[in-house]
Structure 1
Amino acid sequence: MKDSLKRNSRYSQEEATRLSRKNFLKAAGLGSAALALGFYFPAGAHIVNILAGETAADNEVPLVSLNAWIHIDTNGQVTLFDHRAEMGQGSYHSVPQIIAEELEVDLKDIQVSFAPGNRNEYGGQITGGSSTIRGSYKKLLKLSATARMMLVQAAANQWKVDVSTCYAASGHVIHKPSGKKLHYGQLVVAASKLQPPKEVPLKPVSEYKLIRKASRRIDTPLKTNGSAVFGLDKRIPDMLFATVERNPRMRGTVRSFDDSDTMKVKGVTKVFKVRMKVFNTWREGVAVVADSTWAAMQGKKALKVEWDDSNFEHISTPEIYRRQKELLSGQEGLIFQTQGNPSEVITAASTDAKLDVLYETPYQSHYAMEPVNCIAHWKGDTVEIWGPIQAPEMVQDAIAQEFSIPWQNVKVNMTFLGGGFGRKAFMDYPFEAAAISKELGKPVQVVWTREDDATQGPYRPGISYRCEGVVKAGKIEAMKVRLCGQNIGHFSSNDRSKPNGSASEGFLKPYTQSIPHLSIADVTFELPIPVLWWRSVYASTNGFAYESFIDELAVAAGTDPLEFRRQHLPDERVHKLIDKLEAVSGWKSRGTNKGYGVAITECFNSTVGQVVKVSRIPEGGIKIDKVWAVIDCGWYVNPDIIHAQVEGSVAMGLGAAALHEVTFTDGLVDQKNFYDYNMPRIADMPPVEVHIIDNAEDAGGVGEPGLPPFAPALANAVYDLSGKRIRRLPFSLASV
């Protein structure tokens, strides 16, 4: 198997990583072989000195850690730590790129390693909400500049010169008048005895050498030569392997099981019942433990389980949407946002002056290329975790709470993730691995098959939207939206009195300044199906409803759809984005009914506008000719990564809009693997042209905001070409 073949080639990298972390722990005061200065404690929002007087062991290079992100050994080797998960979105490169800019080191000369889960040193480490850069960049710039200034001061002190005559470049401090220079490794010990400056000037954008410049990603060679360690590749000594047969209806319990045939499979060592926490409910299954992944999988196939599926509803997809439609026709819902009197205005308007339409969006699976997996090693009252994990602190808290141990006793080590999209920010699979390891008293890797991943969820919720509106004198007079779908927050809380906190996600805030009568409400809808964050969360479904409806209102007003948005979005930044989108797409010269659609959405502090061009094909149906995307994400790091993330978002948005969905029959998931959950192929992908707005605003997200506008822009393009309004996803391009 692939993981077995790669094992030997990975040991050198893993040994290097372990050595770095070993030195890191010593620098943190848990050992005695290193000097350390300037550890950063987010809770205190300041830099403090930690001095250690001991020297390194004879067989180790003395290490100085300037802060939790920067390690420099006395040979001058710089190691930068990425405190977030790397699942393809680029943090493994962009976080070091930020640090290297102010530290004045070359990316080609550094090493990068994943930071362990430690909220006291790194603050929040949840990789979600497109938060890695926007939540950390100011802190990282300041920490890096502080470290550089201390190294420069140490050199000036050694040369007995004024610090203003010295500068840093390429991992060295240089004395301008004489040309003398010292590498950072020669200065870190002296720097450790200095008091960090309270204020540090940061470079202006105009002086950036690395930031805002395209550069080859550090992780690309690792992923192409096979040396990158993903969760499935990770190995630790004496590790066992496990698979779990879980109830296909997700909430059922184990009535009984017969493992007689399973125990005959060579390599299988133990079979037992296991429970896994899924939000505030439990999922039962039967674990099969073996000395290899293959043996565990074969043992699972031979297992016979009788399930108890009583006490919860076995729902089917048509019934889900029938109920949602019925609720939307009879309930006002919980008000999330309101201004003016939209209900009164809509009721008083004549029939030909108002719209009342329903949009439906499907359940979706995350379908990351690397199925869910996790290693756990329970030792006494501590447990150590390794794997593709998006949210270390959430894993620590979940395990600590259920097993009654301090969160500090749960050590979480991140590997590369083969995709995540929100699924690997959940706590169920590390929790299950910990429970199995505790039962065995040994380390174990729990591997989910593709079918496990596809049929167990959690999923993006399927949501219906009832949108009502009135246009008067070419403007939106009133707009009323009610959404009906599962609320992720309800799975972890018993409070049903509050509306979905993401009910307006994706809807641009400036709309509220131009629409005098507006309301957004959430109609409560409960099912036993577990739902979870999916790339761009509720914006991925809200965006389709909101921006499709804006387009319908534009048509009702007899106004160009892009100009209609400009009139209703009184915001300078949005107008600049619209101007750019209009220019690059050739919107004004497109002609009429030529298959152009537009949508603009906002999430995680970034705004993205997209124009989609479609055309008829001779054999019937529609093809996507091109997508133009303009993103305003404020301060940014690497334009190549932004382009890649927007392009990837379009690919994922295309799949959700026109190719795949999760459906249920009698409580069972219908789609088991890629053969019936069709993903976009290369031939399906249109050219995508990405443009970035330059400005001095605070950083917004990049990994997710490119997804929400695609589906409505595509649907609006289909309408422009064919006159057919798409109100339910997914739809078939071949049959339009």
Structure 2
Amino acid sequence: METNAISRRNFLRVSGLAGTALCLGFYFPANAKNEQLISATGAEHGFDFNAWMRIDTNGKVTLTDHRAEMGQGSFQSIPQIIAEELEVDLKDISVVFAQGNPDKFGSQITGGSSTIRGSYKKLLKLSATAREMLITAAANKWNVPAAECYAESGHVIHRPSGKKLNYGDLVTDASKLSPPADIKLKEISQYKLIRKPLQRLDTPMKTNGEAIFGLDKKLPGMLYASVERNPRLRGKLKSFDASAAMKVPGVKNVFKIQMMVFNTTRDGVVVIANSTWAAMQGRKALKVDWDESGFEHVNTADIYKQHEELLQKEEGLSFKKQGDPDDILAKSANKIDVIYQTPYQAHAAMEPLNCVAHYQNDKIEIWGPIQAPDWVQGDISSKFKMPKEKVIVNMTFLGGGFGRKAFLDYTHEAVAISKEIGGPVQVIWSREDDVKQGPYRAGISYRAQGAIENGEISAVKFKMAGQNIDHWNTDKRGTANNSTTEGFLKPYYDSIKNISFADVPYEMPLPNMWWRSVYASTNGFGYESFINELAVLGGQDQLDFRRKYLRDERCQRLIDRMEEVSGWKSRKKNEGFGVAITECFDSTVGQIVKVSRREDGKVKIDKVWAVMDCGWYVNPDIIKAQVEGSVVMALGAATIHEITFKDGLVEQNNFYDYLMPRMSDIPPVEVHIMENTADAGGVGEPGLPPFAPALTDAIFDLTGKRIRKLPFKLSEV
């Protein structure tokens, strides 16, 4: 929760919710009185309490997770934080999803690797506060000094006598106390749970079928919908013939629908049935005539040709500039001028989109795999003119999201369909719908110019051309993409005196949006590949080259660790080693990739070493899993799959032509975590950007072939 630093004035404790319990949470200064609230429910103060943590009379702890769990591990890491300072056993903690409500929970978007880094300090303080209140309650019962008592495994123990009370026996008394003003948190060296590779609490429920995903949700009288959507964002519906569809057993109704996609609408034809299968079969029987005139039908080759022409002709919108790189580049004789290109990508989460909606005259309720319940609540309230408090958004588990399930199109469509049929409905997207409809990670092209004089970088100039997410979300045309430098390490600015970044605006009627690590996933390839080329131009080792320019202590330690774990200095003949270091969401990740030739002469990836500096962290196993997953996703985007367009239509359909990496494609990935006391950074996304530039650098080291366009096929190198 992105709130002010916790204090007695924005900390709240409440008793009386769901029976006698100790409930603790936060309130937000924007919608609370400037005083500490103490009451049975807080209702008489006009305040709706968020109740982040509840300790019941049976000693069990319930946490309310205000963000989505889509595989990143928040159902483990948040309890691990709470259990550490509260001194309870993880088995006594259960987690429930919060409903969408920014007034209660602040930002609920699961993105930008923000779940832990945005909340951990408050959660530690909240848990320690509860522990101290329970200790005080026990000390009062025994009429002993609180300093003689300590907490352990959900009990308060009196050290001299050995007397013990369960938290459940203390919650009523504790709920009547004022929260202590000063709480001392544990030192990292005192942690018993945090920074330990504990098994995830959600693994059993996700393997035994207990976990509820969006497709599992059922309501009485619920019908099912499958939608034939226009394959072009700007296309309209001319007409449709539903006669054959209505003959399919189980089909109830067929009608036109429109869903919002950013600032425009996409036409579709809905088939309503009493089962998913019937709805899908009815959809196949539809005859639809689309109006596809009046706008450009683009091809992938044309997009990149236009990028290249713009990068050569236009200076673009300046995003950052220091010194005078243009003057130095004009005069330098030892320089390079190259273009890097990255492809459009689908999100391709294992669980396709789905949503259950029930529109009623006095409220709207939604269930599904939703990354941003607060955004959905606001969007539906606005579009359907329903008071926000009457829009109830319920999160389920997500089978992957990567940014796609933070979008608002599929929830809007589901509510519109429910309103039309007058009852609850589950809208299910097929894999083909997901792949062909987008939105996509935009393909980006980069022009990089740089000069080396006396072995030093004298000037660097970057320009990027590609679709800008901001132009869909807001009216920011005329300003540079605010992610132009995302992924580029800030310490470079202190050591490269002449450097500039610019965004060359490029508009295209293709829906584009966030993708795992957002623009760092493309910027990282362009910028770090160019750092490697500058090192070669200067006749220097790529890792030593970075050491010279990334002078801050954390980067220096990261580089030392990369060199140590990979054996960088002891590379052998016929081995190719490549390196890249990127930063996003307050974490820095360095990767070294090793490649060699197979017996048939083709290149293979032997190993990946990843070193992550994410500052304060919770569970090393979760970090390793997220970095490994990031490498797999980056490998696919670099060498296997892309979204391409022909005559304005997406050419890919499903996993048979939008291929995924296979187990046999995945090299060993060795993950190392830097130990420090810095503030927590993100984990779920920063492991992706450095892989592609490190891989192509390794291939250059082995073969002498420089790869500047993704994706490429390893078998053809």
TM category, shorter:
over 0.9
CA contact (8 A) 2:133 2:177 kept: yes
The residue that corresponds to 1:714 in the other structure is: 695
For 2:144 and 2:265, how far apart are their aligned partners in 1?
Answer: 67
SS in 2 for 1:541: helix
Give the corresponding residue for 1:231.
214
What SS does structure 1 have at the residue aligned with 2:239?
A: strand
- Superposed displacement of residue 405, structure 1: 2.2
1:311 & 1:592 partners in 2: Cα distance?
Answer: 58
Aligned residue number for residue 406 of structure 1: 387
| 1:335 and 1:521 in contact (8 A); partners too | yes
Question: What does residue 10 of structure 2 align with?
Answer: none
Partner of 1:138 in structure 2?
A: 121
SS in 1 for 2:199: coil
The amino acid that maps onto 2:27 is F
What residue in structure 2 maps to residue 394 of structure 1? 375
Deviation at 1:33, TM superposition (A): 4.8
Cα contact 1:480–1:519 (8 A) shared by 2: yes
What secondary structure sits across from 1:320 in the alignment? helix
SS of alignment partner, residue 501 of structure 2: strand
> Are 1:504 and 2:485 an aligned pair?
yes
Find out whether 1:612 has 2:600 as its counterpart.
no
Q: CA deviation at 1:144?
A: 1.1
Q: Using the alignment, how far apart are the partners of 1:724 and 1:567 within structure 2?
A: 26
Match of 1:385 in 2: 366
Match of 2:6 in 1: none
Contact 1:106 1:170 in 2 (8 A): yes
Q: Residues 510 and 40 from structure 1, CA distance in 2 versus in 1: closer, same or farther, beyond 3 angstroms?
A: same
1 CA distance for matches of 2:35 and 2:593?
A: 49
Change (3 A) 1:66 1:261: closer
Q: Check if 1:282 corresponds to 2:261.
A: no
Please point out which of 334, 337, 352 is paired with 1:356. 337
The ranges of structure 1 where at least 4 consecutive aligned residues each deviate by more than 4 angstroms after the TM superposition are: 27-37, 44-50
2:166 match:
183
**Partner of residue 111, structure 1:** 94
1:240 to 223, 236, 245: 223
* Percentage of pairs with the same residue: 64
Partner of 2:236: 253
Q: What does 1:50-129 correspond to in 2, within 5 Å? A: 50-52=38-40, 68-129=51-112
Q: Which residue of 1 aligns with 2:425?
A: 444
Report the counterpart of residue 468 of structure 1 in structure 2.
449
Q: Distance in 2 between matches of 1:202 and 1:42?
A: 23
Of 277-286 and 547-556, more deviation after overlay is shown by 277-286
Partners of 2:105 and 2:640 lie apart in 1 by 40
Contact 1:40–1:48, Cα closer than 8 Å, also in 2: no
- Which position in structure 1 is the counterpart of 2:45? none
Deviation track 1:268-322 (CA, whole Å, cap 9, x = no partner) reads 1111111111111111111111111111111111111111112322101000000
Mapping for residues 538-577 of structure 1, pairs under 5 Å = 538-577=519-558
Secondary structure at the residue paired with 1:261? helix
In the alignment, is residue 430 of structure 1 matched against residue 411 of structure 2? yes
Distance in 2 of aligned mates of 1:670 and 1:486: 19
Bigger CA drift: 402-411 or 167-176?
A: 402-411
2:452–2:537 Cα contact (<8 Å) kept? yes
CA distance in 2, matches of 1:190, 1:30: 12
**Distance in structure 2 (CA, Å) of the matches to 1:48 and 1:304:** 63
Could you tell me whether the CA contact under 8 Å between 1:466 and 1:481 is conserved in 2? yes
Structure-1 residue corresponding to 2:353: 372
Task: Give the deviation of 1:465 after TM superposition.
Answer: 0.3
Cα distance, 1:43 vs structure 2: 3.5
Separation in structure 1 between the aligned mates of residue 197 and residue 642 of structure 2, nearest angstrom: 36
Mean Cα deviation higher: 165-174 or 363-372: 165-174
**Matched letter for residue 324 of structure 1:** H
Deviation of residue 50 (structure 1)?
4.7
Shift of the 53–507 alpha-carbon distance from structure 1 to 2, 3 Å rule, reads closer
Deviation, 1:208, is 0.8
**1:198 maps to what in 2?**
181
Q: Does 1:41 align with 2:42?
A: no
Q: How does 1:283-682 map to 2 (within 5 A)?
A: 283-350=266-333, 353-591=334-572, 594-682=575-663
Measured in 2, the distance between the counterparts of 1:48 and 1:72 equals 20
Unaligned runs of at least 5 residues, structure 2: 1-12, 43-47
**2:525 partner amino acid:** F
Instruction: Report the count of equivalent residues.
Output: 698
Give distance in 1, aligned partners of 2:271 and 2:321: 53
Deviation at 1:51, TM superposition (A): 3.0
- Aligned residues: CA RMSD: 1.8
> How big is the shift at 1:660?
0.4
The amino acid that maps onto 1:52 is: A
The amino acid across from 1:561 in the alignment is Q
Q: How does the TM-score come out when normalised to structure 2?
A: 0.95
For normalisation by structure 1, the TM-score amounts to: 0.92
Q: Would the aligned equivalents of 1:36 and 1:52 in 2 still touch at CA under 8 Å?
A: no
What CA deviation, in whole Å up to 9, does each residue of 1:521-548 have, x standing for no partner?
A: 0000000000010000000000000010
Structure 1 stretch displaced more, 233-242 or 648-657: 233-242
Instruction: String of CA shifts for 1:471-524, please: whole Å, max 9, x gaps.
Output: 011111000000000000001223311100000011100111111110000000
Whole-Å separation in 2 of the counterparts to 1:681 and 1:396: 38
How far apart are residue 325 of structure 1 and its match? 0.4
> Structure 1: any 5+ residue segments left out of the alignment?
1-26, 55-64
Q: Is the 8 A contact 2:316 2:502 kept in 1?
A: yes
Q: Which amino acid is 1:361 matched to? A: T
Deviates more, 1:294-303 or 1:699-708: 294-303
The whole-number CA distance in structure 2 between the counterparts of 1:537 and 1:453 is: 19
**Deviation of the 1:453 alpha carbon:** 0.3
